């Protein structure tokens, strides 16, 4: 990469940021398409979020990604916010607009795109979501936005699931999210559910852990989606595959959230050919097989 006086700059703010794959994703895309843009990371404390946004604007930084723990804290410092990000209550991408930055949530756009690349659509489908953390809230919003028929939100504690369900149902003015205790999974009597695993259960190094162990649960699924990408084949995915159900991990989501941000910053379209090449580089970097 040749950096010169015309190089555009984008970056990531969060704490920590040393582990981030975002520089690899964005700088690789720039190199492949010949875009004079560089991407770097900035470790920012919680009390420094506002100053970081203000400083980025003053320096003419084209756009920023935002990672934990700042995805909600950054919102008061934005000029505008995308309606979907507003409903989620979290922003991970800032795009330069007149007078400041506009906030988007490309995490969820990335998941949508990853699902579509795997021929999975949410419209009119019944969905099971496992876990009720921050990622779960965003995915519940996506399901409601995309017109899912019903979403069964299973969590170990009911209060967190209820809070997400009430918020999303109110935002979309329909009773689409149904909170349940994780232990109540046997009450799900249907079949061909799209199941999205959003918890940290099964994350390395605890690779043998699974949020639901009962093989009969997995027989009810059409497909399983784990947002974890390390290990490449999680215990949840193995459970799906053991009963002949397809399963995917979160690496495509990780990649596509970056691609969506890149396209917003540069007003361009990254081809599937480029995306597939970056995916292979990302797998190699993470030693995912």
Catalytic residue numbers read 71
Start-to-end CA distance of the chain, whole Å, equals 28
User: Minimal CA–CA distance to 62: which of 271, 263, 287, 282?
Assistant: 263
Structure-token pair, residue 170: 């109110």
CA 48 to mean position of chain CA atoms: 24
Name the β-bridge partners of 126. Answer: 150
Burial group, residue 56, by CB count within 10 angstroms (0-12, 13-18, 19+): buried
Q: Residue 214 burial by CB count (10 A; 0-12/13-18/19+): exposed, middle or buried?
A: exposed
- Copy the structure tokens of residue 220: 């009810």
- Retrieve residue 208's tokens: 């043998």
Do residues 202 and 235 touch, judged by C-beta distance below 8 A?
yes
DSSP 46: G
Which alpha helices (H) appear in 174-234, and where do they start and end?
Answer: 215-219
């Amino acid at each position: 990469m040749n950096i010169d006086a015309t190089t555009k700059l984008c970056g990531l703010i969060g704490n920590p940021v040393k582990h981030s794959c975002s520089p690899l994703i964005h700088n690789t895309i720039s190199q492949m398409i010949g875009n004079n843009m560089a991407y770097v990371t900035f470790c920012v404390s919680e009390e420094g979020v506002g100053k970081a946004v203000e400083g980025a604007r003053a320096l003419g930084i084209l756009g920023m990604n935002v990672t934990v723990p700042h995805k909600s804290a950054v919102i008061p410092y934005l000029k505008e916010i995308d309606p979907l990000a507003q409903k989620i209550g979290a922003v991970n991408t800032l795009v330069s607009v007149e007078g400041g930055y506009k906030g988007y949530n490309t995490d969820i756009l990335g998941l949508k795109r990853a699902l579509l690349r795997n021929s999975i659509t949410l419209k009119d489908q019944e969905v099971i979501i496992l876990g009720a953390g921050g990622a779960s809230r965003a995915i519940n919003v996506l399901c409601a936005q995309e017109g899912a028929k019903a979403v069964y939100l299973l969590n170990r504690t009911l209060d967190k699931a209820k809070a997400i369900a009430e918020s999303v149902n109110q935002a979309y003015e329909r009773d689409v999210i149904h909170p349940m205790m994780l232990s109540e999974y046997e009450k799900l009597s249907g079949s061909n559910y799209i199941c999205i695993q959003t918890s940290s259960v099964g994350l390395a190094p605890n690779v043998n852990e699974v949020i639901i162990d009962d093989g009969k649960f997995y027989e009810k699924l059409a497909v399983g989606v784990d947002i974890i990408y390390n290990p490449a084949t999680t215990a949840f995915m193995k459970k799906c595959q053991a009963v002949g159900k397809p399963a995917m991990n979160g690496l495509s989501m990780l990649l596509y959230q970056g691609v969506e941000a890149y396209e917003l910053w540069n007003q361009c379209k990254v081809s599937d050919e480029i995306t597939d090449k970056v995916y292979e580089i990302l797998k190699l970097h993470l030693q995912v097989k």
